[in-house]
Structure 1
């Protein structure tokens, strides 16, 4: 079984209201020194077979077509 992880994050120039909300809450909870927070998504995809370049390419295609919005998000895919 091959397991891949897709991490999706908003592009740096895109506003991240969820990240800003977390950033505002952290000092109220006693966490000092945090200068920025960005919130993203993580997908774990299991495929039949052993990890390979072909399966990695297939997961990248999944990320481009469904798991992310390429207009406002960047993603990284790696084998776990």
Structure 2
């Protein structure tokens, strides 16, 4: 079963990589970009066939490794 995970910084957490991207876009002539927040996207292919169990497994993986839950949020999408 395919599981997609989006990890983003929580509101209020500084994002120096996002700021560097915003600055670079301005230097390349892309005006009007007032902010950039960078995150990560992961796609897992699990052996699990039950959607609820696949989601639970993915959330457990996020809590243990894939996301730093002190400063990051994550969303799990099944299917």
TM-score (norm 2): 0.92
1:38 equivalent in structure 2: 37
Q: Give, in angstroms, the shift of residue 50 of structure 1.
A: 2.7
Stretch moving more, 48-57 or 4-13? 48-57
User: Residue in 2 aligned with 1:29?
Assistant: 28
- Displaced runs of 4 or more, over 6 A: none
* Contact residue 6 and residue 74 of structure 2 kept, 8 A: yes
Q: Which runs of 5+ in 2 are unaligned?
A: none
Tell me how far apart the structure 2 counterparts of residues 58 and 8 of structure 1 sit (CA, whole Å). 16
RMSD: 1.1
Q: Deviations over 1:31-54 (max 9, x none)?
A: 111111011111111111435111
1:54 aligns with 53
Measure the CA separation in 2 of the matches of 1:51 and 1:31: 45
